[in-house]
Amino acid sequence: MSSKQYVNRFDGAVCPVCRSSDIISGGVDADGSVGTSGVSCTSCQSTWTDVWVVTQYTNLVIVQSS
């Protein structure tokens, strides 16, 4: 499957090789607004890197200093 299909059709929730949902993702290594995460499939043993891009933030808490 293409990278575009992986994101748009499957939301990155399946292996791009065998389409199994038995995948394991590591932590995100962030550098500015882009992050990467190593992923592996426990069904076919394929590995790949997911790329994360910041698109928004939520739950902002503003703390006023005195």
Distance of CA 51 to the CA centre of its chain: 6
pLDDT at 29: 93
Q: Is 12 left (phi over 0), alpha (psi -120 to 50) or beta?
A: left
What residues in the chain have per-residue pLDDT under 50? none
pLDDT in tens, 37-47: 999 999 999 99
- CA–CA separation, 27 and 52 (whole Å): 11
